[in-house]
Amino acid sequence: MDTNTLIFLAMLLPTLAMFGNMGFHNKPDLRDGFTFICAVLTFTSVVAILSNVGNATTEEISLFEVFPGLDIAFNVEPLGLLFALVASGLWIVTHVYGLGYMRSNNESHHARFFACFSGAIASAIGIAFAANMFTLFLFYEILTISTYPLVAHKGTPEAIRGARIYLGVLIGSSIALQLTAVIWTYTLAGTLDFTQGGILEGKVSGVLVPILLGLYAFGIGKAALMPFHKWLPAAMVAPTPVSALLHAVAVVKAGVFTMLKVGIYIFGIDFLAETGASEWLMWLAAYSIIAASVIAMQQDNLKKRLAYSTVSQLSYITLGMALATQMGVLGGGMHIAMHAVGKITLFMCAGAIYVATHKTEISQMQGLGRVMPITFAAFLIGALSIIGLPPLGGSWSKWLLMVGAADAGHQIMIGVLMLSSLLNVAYLLPIVGRGFFLKDATNNAVVGIREAPLLVWLPPALTAVGCVIMFFYAGHIQAFLMPITGVVR
Amino acid sequence: MEFILGHLNYWFVIVLMMTGLYIVISRGNLVKKIVGLNVFQVSVFMLYISIGKVTGGTAPIFPTDLQGKIQIDPTIVYSNPLPHVLILTAIVVGIATTSLGLALIVRIREEYNTIEEQDILDQDAATAHAENLAHGDAMGGRA
Amino acid sequence: MSSEAQHVALSLQDHLPVLQVLIPFLAGPLIVLLGSRTLAWPVAFIASFAAFVCSGLLLSQVMNGGFISYHIGGWAPPLGIEYRVDAANALVLLLISGISTVVLPFAKPSVADEIPQRHHTLFYATFMLCLTGLLGVVITGDAFNVFVFLEISSLSTYVLVAKGASKDRRALSAAYDYLIMGTIGATFFVIGLGLLYMATGTLNMADMADRIAALGTNRTVQAGFAFIIIGMGLKAAMFPLHHWLPNAYNYAPSAVTAFLAATATKAAIYVMLRFMFSVFQPDFVLDMGATWIIGLLAVIAMFVASFIAVFQNNFKRMLAYSSIAQIGYMLLGISMFNLNGLTATMVHLFNHGITKAALFMAVGALVLRTGTTFYDRIAGMGRVMPFTGAAVVVGGLSLIGVPGTAGFISKWVLVQAAFDNGWWWMALAIMASSLLAVIYVWRIVEALYLHAPNPEAEHQEAPLMMLGPIWIMAGACVWFGFDTELTLGTARTAAEALLAGSAGMAEIPTAAMH
C-alpha cells in the first residue's frame, strides 16, 4: 500500500474503533475485540509507513484548503513517525491493560471510555502526521476535548473539579496563547508549513522573537511547562489506563512533540541559536525540571508523584529544544520515546497496585513488593530508566541532552540534569524499597493480597522489557532521527 | 439674534425633542412614556416638514389645462414635497408604534395589575429573586 | 435613459431583488386572510424557502464582485427607490432567509408547545412580516426605505417577543422596554437621515455618497453620522446600548429568540457598515474618530458581557449576554479598519448567526422537555437527549472558536486583522476574552452531562422536527469551519467593496449587467 493510504488508515482505524465502541456499546466482548483489532492494525499501518519511507520525509498530501495558504495536510517526517510509533504501539499494550483494569475494577461506562480513548489516539496520530501548524493545532484541540470525558470519567465532584482544571488550562492556554502565536506566525510568514530550517528567519527580529516563542511555549499547555503544569496532577483523577497512555504518552508527548516541531520547523534551531531567543526558555525548563522533582518528593499519592515526575521529564524535552543545538534536539526527540516507555510502565504498575489492593498512597505500600513481585520488578526497571541508568533506554536520551548542553556552552545544564537524576533516585526508588524491604507494623495489609490479574500485570512487564531493549537500539533511533537536525540530507 | 430667529424652526424642534425624550425617561407611568415617545417622534416630523419649505414657495401642485396636460411655469417656486411624503410614512409608523405600545400596556395591566414602571420592576425583581433561590443564585448554582 | 425599453428585457430572474422581499411580505397578509391554522405554517415555510432560493440566486450572481441595481416600479434612482445587491448584503440576505427557513420547521413543535393555539395564525403572519422587514433593511439602497423596513421588522419583533407572555409575563415588560428603546433608536436614525437629507437633498445611498464626497465634511453631515450610528447601535445592541437585549431574548418564545438572535442584530450591524463605508467614505469615518470609540466599546463589550454571561444560571440568558459579547467582536472588526477586519466582521456575522441559531434552538428543545432553561433543571439532560446535547457542545465550541468550527474562522481573521495593524496586544485581548467563553460554555456542558438527569423532566429526545433544524445549523457550524469558500470568499469580496467606498450611482440597471 502506498504511504498516503497508510497515513489515512492510521487515523481512520482509531476513529473506526471510536464509532465501533459507540455502536456496540452493549456488546462488551465484540466491542473490545474490535478495538483491539483496530489497535493492532493501526500499529501495523504505522510500521508499514516506516518500512515504506524509512526516515525520509514524504511530500505533503493536502486534504483540502480551508482558506488560501491554510490547508489540512499531512506528511511523514522522522519525529512524527517516532511519535506515531510510540503512541500506536503503546495503545495495544494499554488497551489490553485497560480491559483488565476496567473489568476487574468494576468501572462504569466502558463503551464511552474506550470510544474517547480511541478518539484520543486518532487525534494523536493526526498530530504526529500534521504537515503544518494549522493541522497540528486542529488535532491538538480535538485531543484535548476527546480526553476531557476520560478525566471526568468517575463523575465524582473531585473528578469534575480535576476535569475543569484540565480543560481550563489546556483549552485556555492553547486558545489564548498558542492560537495567537499561530496566527501571528501566519501573518508574518504567510505560511504555516513545517519547513526544515524554519519559516520565521528574517521575518521577525528583536524582542518579538522571545515573545513569540513564549506564546508558543506557554500556549502548548500539554508540554506542562511551569507554571502551566497544574492540569497534569489534576488529571490524575482519571482511571489509571488514561493516566498511563494519555498522561504519560499521548497527551503530554503531543505537547512536547509540538514544542519540538515549533522549535525545529517553525523557528529553526539555527535561528533560535543566532537570536538567543530560547535562552530564557532553557532556564525556565531547568527550573521546571528541578522544581517539579522537588514537589514530586513531597507527594504521598503515587499517581500524583508520577505526575510531577512527568512534569519534570517533559521539561527535559523542552530543554532539548531550548538548547537549540543538534544534539539537544536529538536528545529531546529520543526522550519522547524513552520516557514514554518508562513512564507508562510506572503508571501501569501504579494501576496494578490499585487493582490488587485499592491503595493509592505510597505510605501504605509497605511490603507489597513481596506479594506482587512482578509488578514491583517492572516498577523498578521503569524507575531506573527514568533515572537514566544503563542498561536502560532513558540513559541515552539523557546523555544526548548533556552533550547538547555542552555544545551550546551551557555546562551548567549538565549539572541540572545530574541533579535531576539524583532527585529521581530520591523519589522513585524509595517506593520500590518500601515495597520489598519494609514490613508493615501490623503485617495485616499484605495478607490476602495477590498479584493483579494477568491482563493487568502483563502489560507493564512487557514495557519494562521494552525499556531494556530500547537501550540497545538507541543508536538506531538516533540515526533515524538524524534528518530532523538538517545534517544528513 | 439673527442666528436664533433664522433657525426658529430648529429651536422649536429641539425643544420639542428634548421634552419628549425627557418624558420617556423620567415618567414612571407607561402611558405617559408612550406620550413622550409620541412627542419625540412628532418633533422629528416637524423637522422634516420644515426643511421641505422653500422660501416663497407654494404648494407643489402643477396646474393642468383642460386636456390634462401639465402646464409648467418656471417662474413659480414650489416647496419640496418629498419630505412631506416621507413623513406621511413616518406618521403611519408612529401610529402603529403607539397602538402597539398601548396594546402592550393593556396586556401588562392584565398581568401585573399596574402600569407604573416601578411596581412592575419590583414585581419582576421579586420573581427573579424567587427564581434565584430556587435555581441556585448566580455562581452558587450547582453547575 | 429610457426605462420603457428595459422593461421588455426584464425576465423573472431580473426581478429577484424585489421578489426577495415581496414573497414574505405577501405571505403575511395571506396567512391572515386564509385564517386557517393548518395552512399558516405551510404558507410561511414555502414563502421563507422561496426567499431563501432568491437570496441564493442573488448571491451566486454577485459573489465575485459587482452589484445588481434594481429599480422599483421602473423609476430610476435617485428619485425612485433602488434595491442594490452586492456581495456584502447578499451574504446577509442568505443568512436571514436561510435561518428563517431552518427555524420555521423547528418553530412548529416549539410554538405549539409555548404559544396558545389561537395565536398561531397571527404568529406566523407576524413572523413573515419580521422576515420581510429584515430582508428589506438589508437589500434596499434607499436610506429612508431602510427606516421603513426597520420599523416593519421592529414592530413585528415587539409582537413576537410579547408572545412569550403565556409562559412568563415578563415577556410583556421586556417587549415594552424593547419598544421604547427600539423606537428611540429608530427615531435617532430618522433624525440622522433628515440631517443628511438637508445636506445633500437626496435619499438614495449611492447618490448621497457622491454628494457628500463632493460637499466635503460639515457639521450637519457629522451630526447625521453620529445620529445614525447611535440609532443603529441601539438596534444592534452595541454596548452600552444593549439593555433591551437580555430580557427580550430571554422571555421571547424559543423559536423567536433563535430567529432574532441569528438575524436582527446582524441586519443592524450590516446597515451600520453600509452607512459607514458606502454612504460616508472610509476616510470620513477615520476623521470622525469613530473607529476608536467603536473599538473601545467593542472591547469593553467583549469582556464585560462575557463576564456577566459566566455568572448566569439560565441558559437562555447566558446566551443573550454572549451575543452582546460576540457583537463586540463584529464591531471590533469594523474598528480595525482594514481588509481583514471587515472580512472578520462580515464572516462573523454569518458564523455567529448559525452558531447562535443552533444553540438557541437547542435551548428550545430543552424547554420542550424540561419546561425551563435554568441550569439546575436542564442538568443531566445531555444524557437523555444525546443529539440535542451534542449540538449544544458543537455550538458551544464554535462560540469559543475551537478549530474545526465556524467560530474559529472568524476569530482567526479577526486576530489576523489585529496583527495587520500591529496590535498584538489586541490579539491577546481577543483571545483572553475567548477564555471567558470557555468558562461559560463549559458551565453549561457540565450541567448537561455531569449531573443526574432532572427527574421531573420528560426523558425523551426532542422530536425530529426540532432535531433536524438543530443539526442542520450545528452541522453548518462544522461545515463552515472547514469549507470557507462561501463565507470567507464572499466576506472578503464584500470587505474589498466596502473599503473601496461607494460604488457610485448605478448607470446601468440589472438587465444590462449580463
Indicate the residue type of C323: S
Is residue A283 in a domain? yes
pLDDT 10s digits, C448-457? 888 888 787 7
pLDDT of residue C2: 41
d(CA A459, CA A461): 5
Optimal mutation site among B10, B51, B79, B104, interface C, most CBs of chain C within 10 A: B104
pLDDT mean over C206-218: 82
Q: Examine the pLDDT at B10 and tell me if it is beyond 90.
A: no
pLDDT mean over C330-352: 90
Nearest partner of A307 among A234, A403, A367, judged by Cα: A234
> What secondary structure does DSSP assign to C244-284, as a single string?
HHHHHHHHS-HHHHHHHHHHHHHHHHHHHHIIIIIIS-HHH
Q: Which helix (H) or strand (E) holds C354?
A: helix C339-370
pLDDT mean over A5-22: 85
- Tell me the residues of chain A between 49 and 68 that have a Cβ less than 8 Å away from chain C: 64, 66-67
Interface contact C283, partner A, CB < 8 A: no
Cβ contact A316:A342 at 8 Å: no
Give Cα C156 to chain centroid, integer Å.
15
pLDDT of residue C512: 36
Question: pLDDT-derived band of residue A77, with 50, 70 and 90 as boundaries?
Answer: confident
Interface contact C374, partner B, CB < 8 A: yes
d(CA A338, CA A467): 7
> What secondary structure does DSSP assign to C151-180, as a single string?
HHHHHHHHHHHHGGGGT-THHHHHHHHHHH
d(CA C80, CA C77): 5
Q: What residues in C contact B19, CB-CB < 8 Å?
A: none
pLDDT of residue A365: 79
Give Cα A99 to chain centroid, integer Å.
21
- Helix, strand, coil tally for chain B in percent (to 5): 70, 5, 25
The minimal CB distance from C419 to the residues A66, A164, A183 is found for A183
To the nearest 10 degrees (0 to 180), the angle between helices A28-53 and A3-23 is 170
Tell me which chain A residue has its CA closest to the CA of residue C431: A176
Q: What residues in A contact C416, CB-CB < 8 Å?
A: 183, 186-187
- Tell me the residues of chain C between 110 and 169 that have a Cβ less than 8 Å away from chain B: 144, 147-148, 151, 155, 158-159, 162, 165, 169
How large a percentage of chain C has pLDDT more than 90?
38
- CB-based contact C313 B138, cutoff 8 Å: yes
Give Cα C500 to chain centroid, integer Å.
24
- CB-based contact B21 C184, cutoff 8 Å: yes
Q: Examine the pLDDT at B143 and tell me if it is beyond 50.
A: no
Cβ contact A202:A248 at 8 Å: no
What are the domain boundaries of chain C? Answer: 289-482
pLDDT of residue C459: 81
pLDDT 10s digits, C1-59? 444 444 445 677 788 888 889 999 999 999 989 888 888 899 999 999 999 999 999 98
- CB-based contact C400 A167, cutoff 8 Å: no
Greater model confidence, C126 or A200:
C126
d(CA C129, CA C150): 11
Find chains touching chain C: ≥3 CB pairs under 8 Å.
Answer: A, B
Q: Do chains A and C touch (3 or more CB pairs under 8 A)?
A: yes
Convert A289-342 into a string of H (helix), E (strand) and C (coil): HHHHHHHHHHCCEHHHHHHHHHHHHHHHHHHHHHHCCHHHHHHHHHHHHHHHHH
The stretches of C10-64 forming alpha helices (DSSP H) are 16-34, 37-62
Question: pLDDT-derived band of residue A444, with 50, 70 and 90 as boundaries?
Answer: low
CA distances from C197 to A268, C77, C192, C502 (A): 60, 15, 9, 17
Interface contact B119, partner C, CB < 8 A: no
Interface contact B100, partner C, CB < 8 A: yes
d(CA C28, CA C21): 11
To the nearest 10 degrees (0 to 180), the angle between helices A454-472 and A326-357 is 160
The minimal CB distance from B124 to the residues C158, C170, C203 is found for C170
Q: Which three cell numbers mark A487?
A: 545534517
Tally C-beta pairs within 8 A across A and C: 75
Q: Examine the pLDDT at A331 and tell me if it is beyond 60.
A: yes
pLDDT 10s digits, A390-412? 778 888 888 888 888 888 888 88
The partner residues of A74 in beta bridges, in order of sequence, read A61, A130
Residue C500 three-state SS: coil
The minimal CB distance from A180 to the residues C427, C438, C450 is found for C427
- CB-based contact B97 C155, cutoff 8 Å: yes
Q: Do chains B and C touch (3 or more CB pairs under 8 A)?
A: yes
Q: What residues in C contact A66, CB-CB < 8 Å?
A: 409, 481-484
| Chain A nearest CA to C113, separation (Å) | 33
Which of the 8 DSSP states describes residue C78?
Answer: T
Query: What's the mean per-residue pLDDT of chain A?
Result: 84
The stretches of A358-453 forming alpha helices (DSSP H) are 368-371, 373-387, 394-408, 411-437
- Tell me the residues of chain A between 273 and 302 that have a Cβ less than 8 Å away from chain C: none
ipTM, 2 decimals? 0.88
Q: Which long-range contacts (C-beta less than 8 Å, at least 24 apart) are formed by A373-377?
A: A373/A451, A374/A451, A374/A457, A374/A461, A375/A349, A375/A451, A375/A452, A375/A457, A375/A460, A376/A349, A376/A432, A376/A435, A376/A436, A377/A461, A377/A464
| Chain B nearest CA to C375, separation (Å) | 7
Greater model confidence, C380 or C330:
C330
Interface contact B25, partner C, CB < 8 A: no
Residue A489: how many CB atoms within 10 A of its CB? 9
Residue C34 three-state SS: helix
Give Cα C217 to chain centroid, integer Å.
31
Residue A248: how many CB atoms within 10 A of its CB? 30
How large a percentage of chain B has pLDDT more than 70?
94
Q: Which helix (H) or strand (E) holds C68?
A: strand C67-71
Q: Is the dihedral of CA C104, C107, C112, C117 positive or negative?
A: negative
d(CA C245, CA C354): 18
The minimal CB distance from A138 to the residues C400, C404, C411 is found for C404
- CB-based contact A176 C400, cutoff 8 Å: no
Indicate the residue type of C381: M
Residue C514 three-state SS: coil
pLDDT mean over A59-73: 79
Look up the domain containing A400 and give its range.
278-489
- CB-based contact A179 C431, cutoff 8 Å: yes
Contacts of A265 (CB under 8 A, 6+ apart): A194, A195, A196, A198, A199
pLDDT of residue A486: 67
Q: What residues in C contact A134, CB-CB < 8 Å?
A: 403
Convert A106-170 into a string of H (helix), E (strand) and C (coil): CCCCHHHHHHHHHHHHHHHHHHHHECEHHHHHHHHHHHHHHHHHHHCCCCCHHHHHHHHHHHHHH
Is residue A318 in a domain? yes
pLDDT mean over A120-131: 90
| Chain B nearest CA to C450, separation (Å) | 9
pLDDT 10s digits, C287-334? 777 888 888 999 999 999 999 999 888 899 999 999 999 999 999 998
Q: Examine the pLDDT at B118 and tell me if it is beyond 50.
A: yes
- Tell me the residues of chain C between 373 and 432 that have a Cβ less than 8 Å away from chain A: 397, 400-404, 409, 411-412, 415-416, 419-420, 424, 427-428, 431-432
Question: pLDDT-derived band of residue A441, with 50, 70 and 90 as boundaries?
Answer: low
d(CA C7, CA B137): 65
| Backbone dihedral angles phi then psi of residue C459, each to the nearest 5 degrees | -90, 80
Q: Which three cell numbers mark A281?
A: 526558555
Cβ contact A258:A136 at 8 Å: yes
Residue C289 three-state SS: coil
Alpha-carbon dihedral C121, C123, C128, C130, rounded to 10 degrees: 160
Cβ contact C465:C170 at 8 Å: no
Give all domains of chain B, ordered by start, each with its CATH number: 2-54+80-131 (1.10.287.3510)
pLDDT of residue C149: 93
Is residue A415 in a domain? yes
- CB-based contact B41 C187, cutoff 8 Å: yes
Q: Which three cell numbers mark A300?
A: 504521598
- CB-based contact C483 A64, cutoff 8 Å: yes
Largest CA-CA distance found in chain C, in angstroms, rounded: 72
Question: pLDDT-derived band of residue C503, with 50, 70 and 90 as boundaries?
Answer: low
Indicate the residue type of C395: G
Q: What residues in A contact C484, CB-CB < 8 Å?
A: 66-67
Number of domains in chain A: 1
Contacts of C296 (CB under 8 A, 6+ apart): none
pLDDT of residue A487: 58
Which of the 8 DSSP states describes residue A449?
Answer: -
| Backbone dihedral angles phi then psi of residue C509, each to the nearest 5 degrees | -75, 180
Contacts of C221 (CB under 8 A, 6+ apart): C195, C196, C199, C212, C215, C280, C284
Tell me which chain B residue has its CA closest to the CA of residue C156: B100
pLDDT of residue A24: 80
pLDDT of residue B138: 46
Optimal mutation site among C411, C423, C430, C450, interface A, most CBs of chain A within 10 A: C450
The minimal CB distance from C431 to the residues A134, A167, A175 is found for A175
d(CA C176, CA C164): 13
- Answer whether the bond into residue A227 is a cis peptide, omega within 30°: yes
Is residue A270 in a domain? no
pLDDT of residue C183: 92
d(CA A333, CA A343): 16
Model confidence pTM above 0.90: no
Interface contact A69, partner C, CB < 8 A: no
Interface contact A270, partner C, CB < 8 A: no
| Chain A nearest CA to C224, separation (Å) | 37
- CB-based contact B51 C198, cutoff 8 Å: yes
Q: Which helix (H) or strand (E) holds A56?
A: none
pLDDT of residue A149: 87
- Helix, strand, coil tally for chain A in percent (to 5): 75, 5, 20
| Chain C nearest CA to B138, separation (Å) | 5
> What secondary structure does DSSP assign to C397-460, as a single string?
HHHHT-TTSHHHHHHHHHHHHHHHTT-HHHHHHHHHHHHHHHHHHHHHHHHHHSSPPPTTS--S
* Ramachandran sector of residue A61 (left: φ over 0; alpha: ψ -120 to 50; beta: rest): beta
Tell me which chain C residue has its CA closest to the CA of residue B123: C170
Indicate the residue type of C320: A
Question: pLDDT-derived band of residue C205, with 50, 70 and 90 as boundaries?
Answer: confident
Question: Of A349-363, B58-72, B116-130, C191-205, which gets the smallest average pLDDT?
Answer: B58-72
Indicate the residue type of A455: L
Q: Do chains A and B touch (3 or more CB pairs under 8 A)?
A: no
Optimal mutation site among C156, C163, C172, interface B, most CBs of chain B within 10 A: C172
